[in-house]
Amino acid sequence: MRNGEISSEAYVGKLLERAREHADLNAFITIDDASALEAARQADRLLRAGRSAPLLGVPLAVKDSYLTKGLTTTVGTSVLAGFKPTRDAEAIAGVKDAGAIIFGKNNLVEMSYGLTGLNAHHGQVKNPYNKANVTGGSSSGAGASVAARIVPAALGGDTVGSIRVPASLCGVVGYKPTPGRWPAKGVAPISDTLDTTGLLARSVEDCELMDAVFTRSPVHSADVSGNLKGVKFAYAPRQYLADVDGEVDRAFRETLRQLKDAGAELVEVDLGGDFLALADSTTWPIFFHETMPAVRRFLAANELPVSFEQIYAGLGENIRSGWSHFVVPSGAGYVSDEKYLAALNVDRQELSRRLAAIAFGQADALLFPTTPCAAPRIENQWKFQVGGKDVTDLFLSRNTHPSSSAGVPGISIPMALNSEGLPLGLELDAAAGRDRELLTLARRVEQVIGRFPGPTGF
């Protein structure tokens, strides 16, 4: 666009055609063609006038949990089907200031409360690699729209894996920054402790660009080498390879071999026999206990025309049953204040300490398979088998949610395709606040393992 080789209007027009052509993916809830094209024409006028901005003329999709001024924001619910906010979420204002065009609002699991991509009101989002399989969630439409080449990138949200899980299952890059690094004001929450905004894109370099925009840092686009000499990677097979699918295990170990051949030093670590139990006892009490107060504060602060009770009553059966059990105080599984505070102040501190001391104390990053398996079939999304064992949809976040609870940044990059042609992801985590170093490392790893083909027909 800067070189005048393509106009923003022509690009956006082509992408709108692609969105219509692949509408059966259910990747979007709302697209305003006229507004997107007008914004593109305005960007072209600025480009012709010699203006520059990091994202000038670039269309971005947005998870429909972000408030977008004048553009319908549903948070995946039925009760907000006609709601048009009067102001933008802080992140939306930021990308608009950088010249981006809001292409459309991505489908998502209601209230971001799920890991497969089913929305009772707006349909099941389908995986571009095989439409019989899930995308992962809750940033389901974001993952599908980036994988299907409908948009170059999409803003998402991650609480226990809602960016990284769909990135892994859809074969794209998914970046979850250190909490607080990117703006979250004006984005519908689940948990103030665990939530982060982030990005799904097709390259780590695009995540670096967006990170520079939000942190007001210089945009670095220098080439990076695939030489990993001097880099130390930790991996913890006892924790992160436990019960994973056999093909995931083999792909991960092959990736480790490639990284070692490129000069990296690999350090095997053990985070403790109780690590997975510790992660569970940290994540889920915080996740469930914080939902109701966080949603109430969001509705009040942003003057949404509905109450928590109206949202709860309008939820699809699957999400409502979960809220009835865990989220509302009358539920049988409601987390007491005592259990919540223990998770927040005791277990979370121990989880963070272990990762800091054992993994990041010995290495530049921790490596593991992002998801323990490839995307399950849509028809079996709630219960399926991995390695001969019965698991539920929560298993998809088994490897990602410890990072969320520990408050560390993580990025999932495409690692391999399995024997069925479905993507598998590799996650790199770094110490809190080391985002820039993590992104640079991820680019170097991306160079070593290469990129696999996009989905057929897209």
Catalytic residue ranges: 63, 138, 162
Handedness of CA 97, 98, 103, 108 (dihedral sign): negative
Entry field: residues in the chain: 458
What CA–CA distance (Å, rounded) separates 271 from 373? 21
The dihedral formed by the CA atoms of 254, 256, 262 and 264, expressed in degrees to the nearest 10: -170
Q: Which residue has the tokens 């390879």?
A: 241
In 3D space, the residue among 71, 75, 74 whose CA is nearest the CA of residue 85 turns out to be 71
* Phi, psi of 432, deg, nearest 5: -55, 135
Return the exposure string of 142-167: e unless at least 16 CB atoms fall within 10 Å of the residue's CB, then b: bbbbbbbebbbbbbbbbbbbbbbbbb
Report how many helices (DSSP H) and strands (DSSP E) the chain contains, helices first: 15, 13
Count CB neighbours of 24 within 10 A. Answer: 9
Dist CA 292 CA 259 (whole Å): 44
The single-letter code of the amino acid at 430 is: A
Q: Which two tokens stand for residue 243?
A: 């019960």
Q: Are 65 and 188 in contact (CB under 8 A)?
A: yes
- Do 156 and 199 form a contact (C-beta atoms < 8 A)? yes
CA distance 290 to 354: 24
What do you get for the CA distance between the two ends of the chain, in Å?
22
Residue that is written with structure tokens 């997107």 in the block: 36
What are residue 43's phi and psi, to 5 degrees? -60, -40
Tokens of residue 156, six digits: 């998402």
Q: Which amino acid is at 327?
A: V
> Which amino acid is located at 171 in the chain?
G
Residues 6+ apart with CB under 8 A from 250: none
